[in-house]
Amino acid sequence: MRSIGEMAGASGLSVSALRFYDRGGVLVPAWVDPVSGYRWYGPEQLGEARLLARLRRAGMPLADIRLVLAGWFSEDTDLVRKLLATHVRRLEAGLSDARNEFSTLRALLERREKPMPLPRTHAVSLSVSAPELADALDAVRFAASTDPELPMLGGLLFDIEGQTLDVVATDRYRMAVARAATSGHAETRVQIIVPSPLADAMRALLGGEESVRIAVDGDRVTLETGDRQTAGQCLGHDFPDYRRLVNLPAGQRALVDVATFQEAVETGPVRTREVSGPDETAADLSLLKVTADGAVTIGVDGDDDQSLVAVNREFLLHALAAGARDRLILEIGAPAAPIAIRRPDDEDTFSILMPFRLEN
């Protein structure tokens, strides 16, 4: 017998994925300890688990996987062969369609005029309150990307316009925006992307109550406070137009007590959803449900999926902590619409989480 951890290591499926397939009746362990609930798998199940891992890496729908597993060890494998052939044709058709669409998109992109870049003047200098800037950095830092394939998202956007500084971070699945008041700069809009390590170094200097100076000279940014400073090169990329991404359709707004809601999220049920990628990792999803009286609760399996909004539990907990308030507003719209987490006293500082589509 193999423990769930041993089965994960031997099969290529994560522990979370094995739990998911157990709950779905796809790969049920041979024995579950009635006291601890720990799962154990028989020797004959390793081949089945490895087959399951291969089918999922190939992107086969779960409904077809069930039939393949059911027919794999039977004498008549005609159904299995047809399912495999059908999925290959589905993938080939999808790839052909995708190539055609991307070919058109590349042509459109090449014909599109390059937009005028936002100016980076050679002498931008402004003052900002150290506590305000520290709060802004803390509110968005969790959402910065670590994906080397998307270097333009590997830092924090400093968007300076008029008497405000908007600090923005996103990794595609979540976005956070915070605002701080400034003085000393009232010229045209300026944007720079501060690499995450440099943003962390800036945050380390923001321990006092005084104002600090931010200076931008070409592609170099400096933060100075008293007799201390940190400086470095900005990222040489363009940041996405985040203002287009934060105009969300109106949803139901619910005021939640953060400590109580965090405990409910941490201890409540989750639904595991596999995330495609080389590591075959899985995400634990919290299922949010807005009740008739406008409260937000954690849904459970058995609830109508149409009434649930699924969100990465880890990301939700990060956003709640970054909100830095005892009470926060959760704005929830349709199941496919992003979820907004807002401060009741500061509408300019908020985060957005992309929902996951629930797989039946």
For 18-56, what is each residue's pLDDT tens digit? Answer: 888 888 788 999 999 998 889 999 999 999 999 999 998
Q: Give the type of residue at 321.
A: A
Element (H, E) at 164: strand 164-170
330: nearest Cα among 320, 319, 338, 341: 341
Decide if 168 is inside a domain: yes
Same domain? 131 vs 34:
no
Decide if 308 is inside a domain: yes
Q: Cβ-count burial of 253 within 10 angstroms (0-12 exposed, 13-18 middle, 19+ buried)? A: middle
Same domain? 130 vs 179:
yes
pTM of the model as a whole? 0.74
Same domain? 230 vs 272:
no
Same domain? 143 vs 225:
yes
Same domain? 195 vs 228:
yes
Low-confidence ranges of the chain (pLDDT < 50): 276-280, 360
- 3-state secondary structure at position 14: coil
Q: How far is CA 252 from the centre of its chain?
A: 21
Same domain? 266 vs 228:
no
pLDDT at 225: 92
Same domain? 234 vs 252:
no
Q: Give the type of residue at 40.
A: W
Sign of CA dihedral 288, 290, 295, 301: negative
pLDDT at 114: 58
Calpha distance 112→107 (Å, rounded)? 9
Decide if 349 is inside a domain: yes
Which structure tokens are listed for 86? 């059908």
pLDDT at 215: 93
Decide if 269 is inside a domain: yes
Decide if 115 is inside a domain: no
Q: Mark 72-105 as b/e (b = at least 16 C-beta within 10 Å).
A: eeeeeeeebeebbeebeeeeeeeeeeeeeeeeee
Same domain? 252 vs 204:
no
Decide if 116 is inside a domain: no
Decide if 161 is inside a domain: yes
Last residue of some domain: 243, 278, 295?
243
Calpha distance 207→225 (Å, rounded)? 10
pLDDT at 295: 85
Which residues share a beta bridge with 353? 174, 339
Same domain? 129 vs 236:
yes
315: nearest Cα among 110, 173, 127, 131: 173
Last residue of some domain: 243, 258, 285?
243
Contacts 24+ apart (CB under 8 A), 256-260: 256/296, 256/327, 256/328, 256/329, 256/330, 257/326, 257/327, 258/320, 258/323, 258/325, 258/326, 258/327, 258/328, 259/326
Calpha distance 212→206 (Å, rounded)? 8
CATH number, position 24: 1.10.1660.10
Name residue, tokens 């006092």.
Answer: 208
Sign of CA dihedral 85, 90, 96, 102: negative
Residue 238 structural domain: 124-243
Q: CB atoms < 10 A from the CB of 360, how many?
A: 7
Decide if 103 is inside a domain: no
Q: Mark 132-166 as b/e (b = at least 16 C-beta within 10 Å).
A: bbbbbbbbbbbbbbeeeeeeebbbbbbbbbeeebb
pLDDT at 129: 95
Calpha distance 264→298 (Å, rounded)? 7
168: nearest Cα among 147, 185, 153: 153
Same domain? 239 vs 131:
yes
pLDDT at 107: 83
Same domain? 265 vs 294:
yes
Calpha distance 253→340 (Å, rounded)? 9
Which structure tokens are listed for 25? 């009746």
Q: Mark 11-46 as b/e (b = at least 16 C-beta within 10 Å).
A: bebbbbbbbbbbebebbebeeeeeeeeebbbeeebe
Last residue of some domain: 44, 73, 88?
88
pLDDT at 280: 42
CATH number, position 159: 3.10.150.10
Same domain? 335 vs 290:
yes
The count of structural domains within the chain is 3
pLDDT at 185: 81
pLDDT at 106: 84
